[in-house]
């Protein structure tokens, strides 16, 4: 590959499925890796659609998809953020790391053995971890050509609701946003079902994946895990999947 290029590793799934936690762990495990957040492409609060009297931050209409596509294209060519992108997402807390130091060290050792100093990731190539709740929706067709590795994380309604409602809130363009009461049930979960039912048998997002559909779209999932997979095993699976895909992409 040419100098100063980046591969985009997409991490998608419902809100509070562990995407940001996983992305931050992977950033520390893989060399020369940085994170791009879908949340950095929200439109201004005055431009957001509303539903049931509430602002809807969890739909495609809330995002500036053309700007997202342009930024991804820039990153693939230049291996860095475009100068106009001011990321605020890393200011948000994801809580205490749920993975043990021993597990993290084991994954670092695995990656170090698989990616020696002569590997392009130590010189001309970087990994961009793209963390977002809505990366594979049909509405996101414009960004699909820029996604080199597609990974999907799942979570049950109960766990996603508990995690989301435990959060303090989110840094926004205007300042800060905290979910009002009932937001998960009225906005977050219905939108998740609407945008991802096509990936599951019978449209049941807590059921079985449509494996033929995922294969066609190139989306990788942790098939042996239940709807609420263990985060440590999820990390191991993600590291193994990225290393395997790198063999074919580099």
Residues 71, 77: Cα–Cα separation, whole Å: 10
Q: Is 230 a catalytic residue?
A: no
DSSP string of 166-199, one letter each residue: H---EE-SSSEE-PPTTHIIIIIHHHHHHHHGGG
15-35 residues labelled b (16+ CB within 10 A) or e (exposed):
bbbbbbbbbbbbeebbebbbb
Catalytically annotated residue among 28, 39, 52, 101:
39
Residues 59, 1: Cα–Cα separation, whole Å: 35
Contact 133, 19 (CB under 8 A): yes
Q: Report the alpha-carbon angle 230-232-236, nearest 5.
A: 115
Q: Cβ–Cβ contacts within 10 Å for residue 141, how many?
A: 11
Active site residue ranges: 39
């Amino acid at each position: 590959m040419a100098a100063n290029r980046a591969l985009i590793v997409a991490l998608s799934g419902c809100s509070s499925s562990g995407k940001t936690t996983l992305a931050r762990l992977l950033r520390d495990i893989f060399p020369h890796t940085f994170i791009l957040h879908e949340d950095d492409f929200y439109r201004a609060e005055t431009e957001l659609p509303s539903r049931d009297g509430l602002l809807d931050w969890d739909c495609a209409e809330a995002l500036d998809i053309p700007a997202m596509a342009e930024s991804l294209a820039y990153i693939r060519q230049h291996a860095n953020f475009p100068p106009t992108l001011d990321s605020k997402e890393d200011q948000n807390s994801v809580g205490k790391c749920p993975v043990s130091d021993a597990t993290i060290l084991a994954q670092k050792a695995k990656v170090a053995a698989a990616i020696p100093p002569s590997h392009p990731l130590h010189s001309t190539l970087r990994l961009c971890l793209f963390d977002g709740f809505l990366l594979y929706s049909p509405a996101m067709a414009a960004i699909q050509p820029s996604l080199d590795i597609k990974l999907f994380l799942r979570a049950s309604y109960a766990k996603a609701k508990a995690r989301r409602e435990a959060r303090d809130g989110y840094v926004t363009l205007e300042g800060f946003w905290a979910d009002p009461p009932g937001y998960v049930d009225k906005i977050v979960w219905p939108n998740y079902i609407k945008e991802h039912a096509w990936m599951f048998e019978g449209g049941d997002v807590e059921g079985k994946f449509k494996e033929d559909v995922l294969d066609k779209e190139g989306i990788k999932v942790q098939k042996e895990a239940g709807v609420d997979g263990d985060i440590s095993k999820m990390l191991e699976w993600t590291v193994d999947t990225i290393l395997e895909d790198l063999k074919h992409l580099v």
